[in-house]
Structure 1
Amino acid sequence: MGISILSSAAQVGTYITPRIKPTAKELAELKKEPTKVATEGNIYTSTAIHFKELSLEELKYEKISVDTSKFTYVSYSDGTKNEPNRLVVMHDPENNNKFVTIQLSKKSIDQLKQKFDGTNNFFERSDGVLRLNGDAEAFVAGWMQNIRMDRNYSKSDVDGNGLIEGDEAKTLTIGYKRQTNYDYIGKKVVKISLSVGEKYQDMEHVAASLFMDKNEKLQFQTKRSATNANYIQFENSVEKELDHTIQMDSDLNGTVTLKEGLTDEFGKDYRKRVITDTEKIHTDMLYDHPNLNDDSQLQNNDFGFAKAKKEQEATLQQMSQDTLKISTFDLLNFTSEKDKNTSDTLKQLQLQTAKSSYFGKQDETATIQKTSE
């Protein structure tokens, strides 16, 4: 099946939505067209940062102490290694009077140099450290601040070891609410719309299954795909995630779009997978609801994250209620059995008491009679 990608602008005036009833001719044309996939919205947006740009002379005589002993290579499965990461120094986005030293990959450095080609954006220091300056410094610092604060890496690193480990990932705010729906005519999927709802959602809620135990995961685990993903793969430190983000932001405009995020994790052909997944969903939907298989009109099916989240919450709530019902049932049975036992005991006591009184009176009467005699 062919694929056509629509930008937000291209959709205006060229696509008939389900709110408009197409003519028979328009329906026939839509059936012939390849399935369209439209992505809309940003996952992350960098923080606006500004530093004073230094001149070449100021950069030459700038005194910054940098530990140059650490260089990292990336090793591949075939045993080869790429060029080492570059040590980069720039102002700390949280404190203009301090500097921060980070490592960036050659790939990220090359991207930055292609985008920010001003005279003093990159200064090669005599110690081999690359000093960022001007627009390049502001750009990288803006993404660092977004990762630290908006995505909550700083607070999530509870033990302060520089790494996000185990349950620390629960409080990372890197999730987003997915809004996914598609238009269809009978069995034909016409257009699939993928968009971003609320952003910077904590992982404990948008990806609860990651933190469940093994048995719980078996009930709720769903294979991640470009169709249902509500977070993008992430790194376990600010430094690594910064390098990752620069590469995701392919046009280096300070935003990571849904399209860029899905491409980064699922590859450039993610749209093909979206179409395959959606067609499967559509086939199952028509099997369950054959009355919706109508070739005479354009219809829409919404199966976005919000809907799935509600369904999951409803399932969890139902499980909780079922557990409560079971507990209540057991309690009532226990109470009932206990009451029954108590009642039986009281009856036995009453019977014994009655018998004791009766025999007591008989004895007492016999004694009186005997005395009278």
Structure 2
Amino acid sequence: MIVNKTSIQTALYKDSKNFKNIQVFKASNLVTNKLNQDELKQVEKSLNTLTDITQGWAKGEKSEYDNIVYLSNNQKGINIKIGLSDENLNTLSAIFKDDVYKTANAEYILTGDAEAFVGGWFNEIAYARGYLSADIDKSGAIDANEIANLKTDFSTKTKIFSKEKDGVISADKSMTWIANRYETATHLSYEDHEKNIISIEKTLNETLIMDKNKDGTLSLDEIYQQNQWIDDMSQKVGEILENRAKDSEILVKAKIKIAQNEIEFKNIMLNVSKDTQDFIYKMLFKDDGSDKISNLLSQLSKNFDESIGVDKSV
């Protein structure tokens, strides 16, 4: 029996088109608080006196990003100062326009929808993914000893529906879904290879870029590279189906052997006395049913099928 690997690729490709509907992470919902120009100028005057500024970079270091942005996290009652990349700042300015206010010192204050969008992702990273609580020494960076406290991972499951015909196992379709969100991390998800720093700031910038449609959610198609996922899954599914093919061949041989044994047993039972038959059945089943040979063979077959039954999906 052989496996049709092309059918696996086709099934996975069709399934991956639904990835945009499968949500992985979601930004926190924040109340939109839009300031007018006069209010923004007042905030600008008090930037140096704001309390509870949460920096996204490690203590003693400056942001690796050129654009310093301020926003008020109205859900947690704190003010945030964080660096954004040129790409993220330009995208925010294009989408949210005057909600991105440039100060005289060439820094930026976010308000309205821009503030809610960035603040929502900051919250999700800081609290749901656990960056703030993971940073035990409050250094502003997650080190190797703290990485195990993050909840940045998630797991997916893919079910393959297959069929067997004329010695070929083919995949009809597949179905993928999120099994668990916010799992404990086993590696640095967004590793800075130069500084070996993972921080809220870096992860926020990565997340803002990954959120391609800027809807406050990360779907599977925004996280996975479709072709890479299909290649990886095809290999895994192919191995599973090949093992199933081997199991099926073993099953066929086993059934032939059972059938041979059934015939041999039936011949033996037909050539012994009734008293001997009764003794055998009483020892095996404690049963004095009328059609003993048929009952025994039926039970043997049923037990065998149940014990080696193969699930048709993975």
TM-score range, shorter chain: 0.5 to 0.7
CA distance in 2, matches of 1:128, 1:122: 12
Q: Deviations over 1:232-259 (max 9, x none)?
A: 9335101111111111111111111122
CA distance in 2, matches of 1:272, 1:163: 34
Could you say which residue in structure 1 is the equivalent of 2:163?
185
Aligned partner of 2:184: which letter? D
Residue 194 of structure 1: CA displacement?
Answer: 2.2
Whether 1:198 and 2:180 are equivalent positions in the alignment is yes
Deviates most, 242-251 or 56-65: 56-65
Whether 1:280 and 2:280 are equivalent positions in the alignment is no
Aligned partner of 2:178: which letter? V
Q: Secondary structure of the equivalent of 1:166?
A: coil
CA contact (8 A) 2:125 2:200 kept: yes
Q: TM-score, normalised by structure 2?
A: 0.62
Among 141, 151, 154, the residue aligned to 1:163: 141
What is the aligned length?
225
Identity percentage of aligned residues: 21
CA distance in 2, matches of 1:142, 1:179: 28
Bigger radius of gyration among the two: 1
CA contact (8 A) 1:33 1:190 kept: no
Whether 1:301 and 2:282 are equivalent positions in the alignment is no
CA distance in 2, matches of 1:112, 1:274: 34
Whether 1:105 and 2:85 are equivalent positions in the alignment is yes
Correspondence list, 1:1-373, <5 A: 34-35=10-11, 36-38=14-16, 39=19, 41-62=22-43, 63-65=45-47, 85-93=66-74, 95-96=76-77, 98-117=78-97, 120-186=98-164, 187-203=169-185, 207=186, 233-234=189-190, 236-263=198-225, 268-291=226-249, 300-302=312-314
Q: Secondary structure of the equivalent of 1:128?
A: coil
Could you say which residue in structure 2 is the equivalent of 1:216?
none
Relative to 1, partners in 2 of residues 1:33 and 1:143: Cα closer, same or farther, differing over 3 Å? Answer: closer
Residue 71 of structure 1: CA displacement?
Answer: 6.7
Could you say which residue in structure 1 is the equivalent of 2:298?
none
Q: Secondary structure of the equivalent of 2:145?
A: helix
Q: Gapped runs of 5+ residues in structure 1? A: 1-29, 74-83, 211-231, 303-373
Q: Gapped runs of 5+ residues in structure 2? A: 1-5, 54-60, 192-197, 253-310
Residue 114 of structure 1: CA displacement?
Answer: 3.5
CA contact (8 A) 1:37 1:271 kept: no
CA contact (8 A) 1:93 1:145 kept: no
Aligned partner of 2:26: which letter? T
CA distance in 2, matches of 1:131, 1:293: 69
Deviates most, 188-197 or 44-53: 188-197
Task: With a CA cutoff of 8 Å and minimum separation of 6, indicate the structure with the bigger relative contact order.
Answer: 2
RMSD: 3.2
Residue 286 of structure 1: CA displacement?
Answer: 3.0
Q: TM-score, normalised by structure 1?
A: 0.53
Residue 37 of structure 1: CA displacement?
Answer: 2.5
CA distance in 2, matches of 1:176, 1:286: 28
Residue 293 of structure 1: CA displacement?
Answer: 11
CA contact (8 A) 1:179 1:194 kept: yes
Residue 166 of structure 1: CA displacement?
Answer: 1.0
Relative to 1, partners in 2 of residues 1:293 and 1:180: Cα closer, same or farther, differing over 3 Å? Answer: farther
Q: Deviations over 1:32-75 (max 9, x none)?
A: 993333335322111111242110122123223359xx8756xx
CA distance in 2, matches of 1:56, 1:50: 19
